[in-house]
């Protein structure tokens, strides 16, 4: 079959969709990527994939969305895809409408986390639910990563064919570091002494990832914090630039927090850290938590959709109430002060990641399900 994988930005395609594209190609299918242009597409093209670019705006600019829709209609009509598989909210909605317009036989949508959540206002939540319902009228298969999202989609009637596929990582790439000497050398290169406890946070530099609460919590935590991530140019979420600037003059945080920027060696950083944290406000089913668990790290996360499916409170880490700085500080402090607890929880998390969150299994679930559903497709 000829399959289109569509997302808004190159970051998503490079870091989240490339393994799926490779898995589908290994099954003998022709796979073409579609997303906005960006530097990270080079890595995808180096793997031998063709990527067509469409400018998507991650905002409410109706005119730009209509331009993207028209471009997709032309592209889908020319390419004659058997399956269009869409990702990320705005591109997914526009892509499904365009695919339906030209009669693509099978339209698949992976919700990496619905944009609505329990902490939104009633009206905003209702608007996003309505948009998901609308998109569902043009969707043959809906994949969610979290079981909770699948149940929500069924309750609202988003689609008839709904399946939770989970999320996963390369278990062989993300694993504990056994060479103690090399581990310490790598830590020292990033400013951590042998007796320092290092907390790692990976995520876009926006407020909804929980950075403001984390910075406040770190004032009373005797550890170092490494922050990995950057702000995407297309990101419309609230900035934390001022908070980062304020850190420079805060004596309680002086020397505690290091911003490492965008990194391609997150697996190595996981191996040399001691604790992973993600105090996010909204997630789908965060891969970074799975990476931390697979690397043998205890995890401190907020008790939100997706994260609470991955972390077993008290066994593989801790779940804290959303926005509760004191609870976040207490749980981090508990792990910082108890090496045995860190080791036990990290080992539990590693076993859970191996059992439930293998990237290979997640890819196979999608491929196998699409083989079954495609039997009714006229391709």
- Inter-residue contact 313 to 349 (CB < 8 Å): no
CA atoms of 328 and 230, how far apart (whole Å): 23
φ, ψ of residue 30 to 5 degrees: the values are -90, 125
For domain 2-168+359-376, the CATH class is alpha beta
Enumerate residues 6+ apart whose C-beta is below 8 A from 345: 298, 299, 315, 316, 317, 335
Tokens of 338: 């108890």
For residue 46, count other CB atoms closer than 10 A to its CB: 8
CA atoms of 242 and 220, how far apart (whole Å): 21
CA atoms of 100 and 84, how far apart (whole Å): 10
CA atoms of 374 and 379, how far apart (whole Å): 9
CATH 3.40.50.2000 segments of the chain: 2-168+359-376, 180-356
CA dist list (Å): 366 to 31, 110, 259, 302: 14, 10, 36, 28
Residues of the chain with pLDDT under 50: 375-379
CA atoms of 167 and 146, how far apart (whole Å): 8
- Inter-residue contact 199 to 224 (CB < 8 Å): yes
Instruction: Write down the pLDDT at residue 373.
Output: 56
- Inter-residue contact 235 to 204 (CB < 8 Å): yes
Tokens of 344: 């036990």
Query: Which H or E run contains 335?
Result: helix 325-337
For residue 181, count other CB atoms closer than 10 A to its CB: 7
CA atoms of 174 and 170, how far apart (whole Å): 6
Enumerate residues 6+ apart whose C-beta is below 8 A from 41: 10, 13, 14, 33, 35, 51, 53
**180-356 has CATH 3.40.50.450 classification:** no
Query: Which residue reads 């990033």 in tokens?
Result: 190
Enumerate residues 6+ apart whose C-beta is below 8 A from 349: 292, 293, 294, 296, 297, 298, 299, 311, 316, 317
Starting from the edge strand earliest in sequence, which strands make up the sheet with 275-278, in order? Answer: 257-261, 224-228, 198-202, 275-278, 299-302, 317-320
- Inter-residue contact 109 to 96 (CB < 8 Å): yes
Three-state secondary structure string covering 280-291: CCCCCCCHHHHH
Which pTM value belongs to this model?
0.87
């Amino acid at each position: 079959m000829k399959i289109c994988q569509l997302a808004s930005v190159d970051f998503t395609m490079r870091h989240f969709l490339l393994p799926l594209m490779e898995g589908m190609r290994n099954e003998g299918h022709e796979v073409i990527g579609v997303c906005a242009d960006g530097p990270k597409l080079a890595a995808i093209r180096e793997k031998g994939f063709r990527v067509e670019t469409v400018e998507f705006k991650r905002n409410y600019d109706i005119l730009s969305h209509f331009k993207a829709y028209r471009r997709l209609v032309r592209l889908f009509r020319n390419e004659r895809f058997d399956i269009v598989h869409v990702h990320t909210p705005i591109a997914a909605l526009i892509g499904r409408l365009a695919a339906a317009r030209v009669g693509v036989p099978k339209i698949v949508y992976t919700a990496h986390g619905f944009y609505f959540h329990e902490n939104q206002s009633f009206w905003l939540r209702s608007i996003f639910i309505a948009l998901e319902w609308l998109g569902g009228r043009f969707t043959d298969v809906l994949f969610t990563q979290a079981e909770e999202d699948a149940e929500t989609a069924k309750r609202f009637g988003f689609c008839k064919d709904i399946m939770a596929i989970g999320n996963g990582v390369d278990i062989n790439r993300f694993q504990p570091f056994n060479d103690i000497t090399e581990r310490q050398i790598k830590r020292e290169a990033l400013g951590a002494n042998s007796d320092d406890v290092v907390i790692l946070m990976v995520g876009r530099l926006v407020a909804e990832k929980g950075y403001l609460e984390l910075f406040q919590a770190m004032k009373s935590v005797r550890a170092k914090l490494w922050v990995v991530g950057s702000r995407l140019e297309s990101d419309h979420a609230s900035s934390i630039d001022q908070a980062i600037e304020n850190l420079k003059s805060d004596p309680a945080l002086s020397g505690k927090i290091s911003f490492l920027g965008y990194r391609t060696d997150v697996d190595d950083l996981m191996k040399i850290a001691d604790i992973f944290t993600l105090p996010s406000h909204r997630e789908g089913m965060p891969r970074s938590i799975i990476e931390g668990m697979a690397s043998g790290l205890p995890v401190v996360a907020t008790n939100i959709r997706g994260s609470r499916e991955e972390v077993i409170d008290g066994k593989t880490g801790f779940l804290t109430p959303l926005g509760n700085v004191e609870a976040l500080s207490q749980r981090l402090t508990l792990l910082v002060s108890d090496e045995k607890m860190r080791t036990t929880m990290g080992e539990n998390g590693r076993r859970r990641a191996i059992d439930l969150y293998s990237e290979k299994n997640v890819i196979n679930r999608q491929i196998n399900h699409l083989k079954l559903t495609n039997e009714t497709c006229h391709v």
